[in-house]
Amino acid sequence: MTDTALTAPTALIAEDEPLLADNLRAELASAWPALRIIAQAGSGTAAVELALLHRPRACFLDIRMPGMTGLEAAQAITEDWPADGSALPLFVFVTAYDQYALQAFDAAAADYLLKPVTPERLARCAERLQARLALLEHGATTLASLHQLLSQAVAPAPRLRHLQAAVGDAVELVPVEDIVYLEAADKYVRAVTAQRDYWVRQSLRELLPQLDAGRFWQVHRSTVVHIDAVARAQRQENGTVLLTLRQRPETLTVSRVHASRFKPQ
């Protein structure tokens, strides 16, 4: 692979209509020849997994997709982006309905495109993204240094010993050691033990820094498992992994992004 290929800007396209996705890909090749399309997704859920796996510099997301919308996918990518100092992708939302424009910019969009996308409008979008990426590259060294200094200066969050779960009118203290896995559910977290489930009014993102990372592994965007509770990990043909638990009958799916944690030593 050439040095140019290694440093070329990369992008992901998420569009549930294959013909529209292929057309956008072809138009981008004309408007921005240096751009490499490294992934193409047919749903918002797939877009999240592929973005976290490949870490593109830009994501072109169709807003109206079945299941997870482009706006929801952008939020999920932002929430789950690795905290290693790497820059988030620039989000470009593509829609046939201009009423989504304000929502797009509320989601910190770098740009939005109305269907059918004209070559002139796409060219302006490409120019805007290139200018934004140039600014990001210029400040990357400074930001990386600042991130390192902050990580050294900020004290780690205290480790949780109990979760406070609402049970009727009472609050029950659930020992963290009893938890088999945690599952995000809107504004709550479902804490599953061998005997029962509890509901904790806290986001998974808030809880994660307070857990022992050596014992509680994130295996999916919405799932964290107590690794001591895992009996077996079985790799699947699609790149995911299925976890069999010691004290629960259900299995957990490990996304492709996190599957590399489960491999023979």
Peptide bond into 209 cis (omega under 30): no
Residue with token string 């549930």: 16
Contact 98, 70 (CB under 8 A): no
Read off the pLDDT band of 13 (50, 70, 90).
very high
Q: For residue 206, what are the CA distances in angstroms to 80, 158, 200, 209, 210?
A: 12, 12, 11, 7, 8
Q: Which three-class secondary structure state does DSSP give residue 260? A: helix
Assess if CATH 3.40.50.2300 describes domain 3-153.
Answer: yes
**What is the rounded average pLDDT for all residues in the chain?**
85
pLDDT exceeds cutoff 80 at 181? yes
* Whole-number pLDDT of residue 101: 59
The pLDDT, as a whole number, for residue 187 is: 77
Q: Please report which helix (H) or strand (E) contains residue 20, including its range.
A: helix 18-31
Which segments of the chain belong to CATH 3.40.50.2300? 3-153
Query: 79-88, 95-104, 215-224 — which is least confidently predicted?
Result: 95-104
Q: What is the mean pLDDT of residues 76-98?
A: 83
pTM for this structure?
A: 0.58
- Find the length of the chain: 265
Cα(26)–Cα(84) distance, integer angstroms:
33
- What confidence score (pLDDT) does residue 102 get? 55
Residue 106 pLDDT grade (very low, low, confident, very high; cuts 50, 70, 90): low
- CATH no. for 162-261: 2.40.50.1020
The tens digit of pLDDT for each residue in 125-178 reads 999 999 999 887 765 544 444 444 444 444 455 688 999 998 888 899 999 999
Q: Burial of 91 by CB count in 10 Å (0-12 exposed, 13-18 middle, 19+ buried)?
A: buried
How far apart are alpha carbons 171 and 134 in whole angstroms?
51
pLDDT score at 103: 59
pLDDT grade for 260, boundaries at 50, 70 and 90: confident
Which distant-in-sequence residues (6+ apart) come within 8 Å of 55 by Cβ? Answer: 86, 89
Residue-wise over 231-261: b if at least 16 C-beta within 10 A, else e? Answer: eebeeeeeebbebebeebeeebebbebbbee
Which residues make up the CATH 2.40.50.1020 domain(s) of the chain? Answer: 162-261
Looking at the chain, the whole-number percentage of residues with pLDDT higher than 90 is 52
Helix H or strand E segment including 11: strand 10-14
Mean of the pLDDT values across residues 219-231?
A: 93
